[in-house]
Structure 1
């Protein structure tokens, strides 16, 4: 009977990653797991049906960073973000953001106005003659 209690507190890893909102679809999470990119407690797994539960530590890539997550709860559904964040503890080191400008800077105000654009077009046609 004790065996059933431990299995009932476990869930498929692809389902849990989807519940915790790390991936938009369950198919994407299953693809990542079956590709061998996920580690559970330091061991690579390759099956989306691998069972995980509270206390397990997951390591997987997401976007351009590697996430390290400790599972706190099994989860019953894919709920709102606040509910999903209660399912895990993030052990990843904080990411430092570089002060990179968002876009190239142009002299003036940025994008030319319609009037400025007409002036540019007129100047170009004069230069071609």
Structure 2
């Protein structure tokens, strides 16, 4: 009975790490992002990790940046952009470079669709579409 309870618990916990997809405008999956911050490409290769403390690491666990509040920083703590609560994405000079809509649609500064990141934190989607070339 104890083993059964442990097995059920593990299954339930495993279900909490559900991956969401980042898609192109044609609907092709570009990346999957799990709720614990693991980013994989369309071939299921891990390309980056977003740690709970905001550290961003590449597949080799090398630090490549940080997410701090609304700021995105590179590995040297230099601000490279901002992700506003309303989904507006700005570069380091506060120029608007894109938008992430409430429905997950990602647009460039001219409101042209770049793809979608439904169910993914805006900061994480901004990393994928605007700041880091995974």
TM exceeds 0.5? no
Bigger relative contact order, structure 1 or 2, given CA contacts below 8 A and separation 6+? 1
Structure richer in strand, relative to its length: 2
Structure richer in helix, relative to its length: 1
Larger radius of gyration: 1
Q: Classify the TM-score, shorter chain.
A: under 0.3
Q: TM-score, normalised by structure 1?
A: 0.23
